[in-house]
Structure 1
């Protein structure tokens, strides 16, 4: 295989994993722009030093490990040439600075991205036992997460009941469950939620994304978690894109993690968040 062919294969492999790095970066930073700046910085580092992704290695693991080399040394969003202008992002960064080091990273890598503890250890430059301990500490801390009101937009009854059970067990209140775009808009306006948990494809072939966009235009900014079997279709580089995304079939830990992360970045004062 020629050097050009090797480079092409590596580029294709990186491209296939990039949507998942961008999902992780956004969940970690709480904002699309800052998460994408980290993803771009990661690719730039690999272009500058291709040995960061060695031939025959686990491409996804190497990509995330390179990301963490940048994340762990920066301590804040990658500089975009000016001050952080988005208030939500500024508040998110302030809250991040008050978290126990590395616990959220281990939690997201395990619950959202599906890495095992050995892989997390390699990504974060830890021992496997340390990675597992960080994850367990994060799971314990989730019991102290902010409580809020959640609207579920899901057309499959069994899944809606499952999501209802999971978030209710976490201490949140489900304001309502909607099956269609129009149903979601009506119920969201009737009982304003702190967070929206939405499937993409709804019962009448309407769009969960359209329902969410309509609600946000009426209710103002609030965290949203999308659920989809095809996450790469939402992580295309076009705006707006979701900061929080759960892939079907999901696990209970994934839902708990995503909801806790989304609530962490919420700014609604009545949820008791310090701003």
Structure 2
């Protein structure tokens, strides 16, 4: 049977939601490979049975709800972090949270859902989601301090990011506006984490800077971009975490904890 305009429109809407589901799945599973496998399953079901998504007014909400409905019969999405990871050595991580706390936190601060929408996605009461979010935020305060290198060419934004990092309890070892400076600071300070913008001063690339840094040290990276879907194609090795400007302190804390937990050193 030929697809009609409504079906095509729904398929396009589902496709637009998938990069964000991919980001969430990787964060909640702690694995790019495992997260992408779940997303592929969800995408196949959504495309074959779009009515399962069409039951909600918002397509992204419907896709995320379907994602959790599909994984429930097979157990939790989460898996334990590696003892060889940075966070394993620090004894604190995002995966120390109860699964529900972690899911509510990521759905709200990472994906921008309301607490009520997060509750709907997870199939729980709004009050339970609110309690889980409060508990998750308290847990984030316990994540051990790490050394962070900030790669950002806009001075005001760089200072704001540095303040957020420090207020989250971490140490900023340097701020770099160019590829050369970023590489030099990384060699000098051996950061636990790199927080990098994509476009730098003078046409330099944050991605190129990170690639150079990774030749000498294996360090988790958080990329900052206004277009996260462009980095979340599932077709290449990608950052441990991708966040969008502007971001709030809770999101950065969650990103730092998650990046440290998923990348072995």
| TM-score normalised over the length of structure 1 | 0.85
2:252 corresponds to 1:249: no
Deviation readout 1:152-183 (Å, 9 max, x if unpaired): 00111111111111111222111111101111
Across the aligned residues of Structure 1 and Structure 2, the Cα RMSD in angstroms comes to 2.2
Q: Report the 3-state secondary structure (helix = DSSP H, G, I; strand = E; otherwise coil) of the residue aligned with 1:186.
A: helix
> Counterpart of 1:126 in 2: which secondary structure?
coil
Partner of 1:212: 210
User: Which ranges in structure 1 are unaligned for 5 or more consecutive residues?
Assistant: 79-86, 269-275
Deviation sequence 1:88-142 (CA, Å, 0-9, x none): 7xx8xxx887541311110011101110011111100011111111111000001
> 3-state SS of the aligned residue for 1:177?
strand
Q: How many Å separate the matches in 2 of 1:96 and 1:156?
A: 29
Contact 1:117–1:131, Cα closer than 8 Å, also in 2 = yes
Structure 1 residue 122 corresponds to structure 2 residue 120? yes
> 1:226·1:242 contact (CA, 8 Å) conserved in 2?
yes
Report what 2:45 is aligned to: 45
Instruction: Please identify, of 52-61 and 244-253, the stretch whose mean Cα deviation from structure 2 is larger.
Output: 52-61
In 2, distance between residues paired with 1:242 and 1:264? Answer: 13
Measure, in 2, the Cα distance between the counterparts of 1:96 and 1:190.
28
Q: In the aligned structure 1, how far is the partner of 2:68 from the partner of 2:169?
A: 32
Q: Secondary structure at the match of 2:194?
A: strand
Matched, 1:172 2:174: no
Cα distance in 1 between the residues matched to 2:35 and 2:136: 21
- Greater CA deviation, 95-104 or 66-75? 95-104
How many Å separate the matches in 2 of 1:57 and 1:104?
25
